[in-house]
């Protein structure tokens, strides 16, 4: 996609959010409850993941690039945080409003629709605030599986110790199934961080891969599949990273979740992917997915020079994290 399209997309997002901001400021100054509620609904629409996807398809003939996805995600999550902030402000300004239930419903729907099943990242700077609001609503509906999933994604934005504690809490039998399962797997991954990780396999092209032989190098593990659109969308950026770092002490290893060997081989050849690939027709139930709790892709891990797993959330911040690991002795 052209730079013009990227600029057009960014301007669209910025213009909409700026318009919402002006509308809120105007309604707040006027003390107009009706306008404030209408504005809140505008923010909720801006935070609607499905609406954003639909609007994108209506305006563009091709999928968004990596940068455009990042911009879109940032806009959606920013709008969701604004719904929380201004929704709570509405409740303070108009404590006796007949729209109180609707406001609370908008907040819950936005939390669930942005940070719940869709799994958009909770901004780290606001993770504690999101957690506080979610816990407030869970008091009246503790079995809401979407809100419990939001807490799982809150944990992903917290510092290591706090994340472990929250995942531990969510691993309890009383947590609704999907969130409990996610928490258990996430906790298992976190407990691997800082510990050695070792495996070996024969790559699709016949290369023998032993992680222990790569000591002294940073290793990027890419869990992906040709059938995963975000994985394919990320590929050009991964190839750029590979070209940039392969001669600087970084090795890439692909862990494919594909089930069709010939399809994978054709894709690798067409896309000229140079790094070794693991393949098992079991797909998402292959030994790596099972052993490491990979239940969704794309996922990017980074292993340091000593062979210790350091990051299980490197996607979209690979370069920054690679540079950090390269700088270590």
The 10s digit of each residue's pLDDT in 66-123 is 678 888 999 999 999 999 999 999 999 999 999 999 999 999 999 999 999 888 999 9
Cα-trace Rg, the chain: 22
> Residue 310's pLDDT is what?
96
> Residue 270's pLDDT is what?
96
Whole-number percent of the chain with pLDDT over 70: 90
> Residue 217's pLDDT is what?
97
Asked if residues 52 and 72 have their Cβ atoms less than 8 Å apart, the reply is yes
The 8-class DSSP code of residue 122 comes to: P
Q: Given a cut of 70, is residue 19 above it in pLDDT?
A: no
Cβ contacts of residue 329 below 8 Å, gap of 6+? Answer: 305
Mean pLDDT across the stretch 36-53?
93
For the stretch 200-225, pLDDT in tens is 999 999 999 999 999 999 999 999 99
Beta strand 250-256 pairing with 218-224: parallel
Whole-number percent of the chain with pLDDT over 90: 71
Q: Given a cut of 50, is residue 5 above it in pLDDT?
A: no
Q: How confident is the model at residue 313 (pLDDT cuts 50, 70, 90)?
A: confident
Rounded distance, CA 315 to CA 69, Å? Answer: 13
For the stretch 20-33, pLDDT in tens is 544 444 444 345 89
Q: How confident is the model at residue 14 (pLDDT cuts 50, 70, 90)?
A: very low
Q: Given a cut of 90, is residue 65 above it in pLDDT?
A: no
Cβ contacts of residue 328 below 8 Å, gap of 6+? Answer: 304, 305
At residue 324, the 3 state secondary structure works out as helix
Q: How confident is the model at residue 9 (pLDDT cuts 50, 70, 90)?
A: very low
Rounded distance, CA 211 to CA 196, Å? Answer: 10
Q: How far is CA 50 from the centre of its chain?
A: 16
* pTM, rounded to two decimals: 0.71
Rounded distance, CA 72 to CA 77, Å? Answer: 9
Cα–Cα nearest to 51, from 79, 23, 25, 30: 79
Buried b (16+ CB within 10 A) or exposed e, 102-123: ebbebbbbbbbbbbbebbbbbb
Concatenate the DSSP letters of all residues of 20-52 into one string. HHHHHHHHHHHT-HHHHHHHHHHHHHHT-HHHH
The domains of the chain, with CATH numbers, are: 3-191 (no CATH), 200-327 (3.40.30.10)
Rounded distance, CA 8 to CA 107, Å? Answer: 30
Element (H, E) at 109: helix 100-115
């Amino acid at each position: 996609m052209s730079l013009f399209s990227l600029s057009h997309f960014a301007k669209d997002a910025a213009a909409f959010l700026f318009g919402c901001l002006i509308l809120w400021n105007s309604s707040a100054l006027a003390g107009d409850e009706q306008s404030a509620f209408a504005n809140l609904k505008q923010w909720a629409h801006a935070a609607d993941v499905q609406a954003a996807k639909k609007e994108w398809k209506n305006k563009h003939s091709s999928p968004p690039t990596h940068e455009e996805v990042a911009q879109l995600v940032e806009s959606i999550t920013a709008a969701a945080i604004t719904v929380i902030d201004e929704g709570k402000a509405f409740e303070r300004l108009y404590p006796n409003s007949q729209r109180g239930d609707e406001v609370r419903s908008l907040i819950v729907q936005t939390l669930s629709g942005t940070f719940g099943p869709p799994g958009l990242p909770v901004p780290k700077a606001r993770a504690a605030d999101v957690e506080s609001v979610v816990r407030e609503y869970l008091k009246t509906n503790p079995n809401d599986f979407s809100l419990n999933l939001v807490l799982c994604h809150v944990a992903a934005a917290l510092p290591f110790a706090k994340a472990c504690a929250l995942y531990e809490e969510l691993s309890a039998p009383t947590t609704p199934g999907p969130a409990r399962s996610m928490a258990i797997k996430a906790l298992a991954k976190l407990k691997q961080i800082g510990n050695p990780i070792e495996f070996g396999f024969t790559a699709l092209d016949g290369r023998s891969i032993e992680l222990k032989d790569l000591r002294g190098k940073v290793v990027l593990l890419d869990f992906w599949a040709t059938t995963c659109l975000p994985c394919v969308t990320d590929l050009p950026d991964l190839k750029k990273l590979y070209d940039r770092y392969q001669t600087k002490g970084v090795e890439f290893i692909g862990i494919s979740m594909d089930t069709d060997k010939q399809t994978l081989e054709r894709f690798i050849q067409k896309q000229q992917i140079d790094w070794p690939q693991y393949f098992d027709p079991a797909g998402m139930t292959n030994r790596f997915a099972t052993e490491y709790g990979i239940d969704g892709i794309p996922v990017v891990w980074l292993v340091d020079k000593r062979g210790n797993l350091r990051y299980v959330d490197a996607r979209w911040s690979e370069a920054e994290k690679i540079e950090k690991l390269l700088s270590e002795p």
